[in-house]
């Protein structure tokens, strides 16, 4: 068995729903990303403007890197999208889970080859994750901006392992969204553009997780019952019919508190309740703000 095949098999053993390999090279979508930011569609996510040179070429992020191993972890499809907490947030913090598993994958590779470069990236690193997922053959970029996999659907979080091995790339796959526009029609705020890019200023996920301060008056009623995230555009994807059995156990959904409970939650209770989730980063003040808006939106 080739080293590439062994790596992908080990990624599956670790619980990833999909994995692939791309050759490290300059990013092909960096200008699209830069135009998206320049148009203001990144809202107040100013951190995306940092380290532009590193984002444009992963070989600057990790000097010596020759291949990028991209993995995707499946989380449950939200059965009640637009209400409560996003499915990916109901399990353990995917940042920590994916980092630990990618570290295991790095150790596995070192048993078969000499590694001088082994850089793990999960979400926060300046790398265009979805471009590399496409180039590694995990799937295609859907009309909602997310990666869609024929085998694993689109309820996915991504991670990368940058190594200095010249590995054979995984073949790409064609875009199979076709004329389907379920995700576009599901968005209540029109945040999904015809160009496949998201306007964060209108996105319920951005507004409930990243946005600081009060909600714009015209969007507050459209939040509906969303406390943290949304999932409306991912839950409707027909490709989610495949992959339920691929949900990573650590990302399995757990019970979450109601809006009333969130509004009454003290800072200490928030820390204790969400200490091992990605909700912790958003902070108690935003969650209470979201809960107040949800309760105001009730009939």
The set of catalytic residues is 123
CA distances from 1 to 7, 8, 21, 298 (A): 10, 11, 16, 58
Cβ neighbors of 14 (< 8 A, separation 6 or more) are 101, 104, 105
Q: What is the CB neighbour count within 10 angstroms for residue 43?
A: 18
CA distances from 278 to 137, 260, 271 (A): 27, 21, 11
Reported as type and span, the H/E element at residue 12 is helix 3-13
DSSP assignment, residue 269?
A: H
Q: What is the CB neighbour count within 10 angstroms for residue 53?
A: 10
Pairing of strands 147-148, 18-23: unpaired
260-269: which pairs have CB atoms within 8 A and are 24 or more residues apart? 260/291, 260/295, 262/227, 262/287, 262/288, 262/290, 262/291, 263/288, 263/291, 263/292, 263/295
């Amino acid at each position: 068995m080739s080293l590439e095949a062994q790596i992908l098999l080990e990624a599956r053993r670790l619980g990833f729903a999909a994995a692939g390999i791309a050759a490290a090279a300059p990013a092909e979508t960096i200008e699209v990303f830069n135009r998206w930011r320049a148009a203001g569609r990144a809202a107040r996510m100013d951190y995306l403007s940092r380290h532009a040179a590193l984002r444009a070429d992963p070989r600057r992020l990790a000097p010596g890197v020759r291949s990028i191993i991209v993995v995707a972890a499946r989380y449950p499809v939200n059965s009640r999208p637009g209400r409560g907490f996003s499915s990916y947030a109901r399990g353990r913090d995917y940042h920590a889970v994916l980092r630990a598993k990618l570290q295991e994958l790095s150790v596995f590779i070192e048993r078969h080859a000499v590694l001088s470069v082994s850089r793990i990236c999960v979400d926060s690193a300046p790398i265009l994750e979805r471009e590399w997922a496409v180039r590694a053959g995990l799937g295609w970029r859907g009309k909602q901006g997310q990666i869609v996999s024929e085998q694993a659907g689109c309820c996915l979080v991504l991670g990368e392992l940058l190594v200095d091995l010249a590995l054979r790339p995984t073949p790409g796959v064609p875009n199979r969204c076709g004329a389907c526009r379920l995700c576009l029609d599901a968005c209540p705020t029109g945040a999904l553009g015809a160009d496949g890019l998201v306007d964060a200023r209108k996105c319920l996920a951005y507004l409930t997780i990243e946005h600081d301060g009060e909600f714009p008056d015209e969007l507050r009623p459209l939040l509906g019952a969303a406390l943290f995230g949304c999932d409306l555009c991912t839950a409707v994807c027909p490709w989610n019919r495949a992959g339920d059995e691929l949900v990573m156990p650590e990302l399995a959904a757990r019970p979450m508190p109601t809006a009333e409970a969130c509004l009454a939650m003290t800072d200490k209770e928030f820390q204790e309740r969400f200490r091992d989730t990605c909700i912790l980063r958003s902070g108690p003040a935003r969650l209470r703000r979201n809960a107040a808006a949800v309760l105001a939106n009730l009939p």
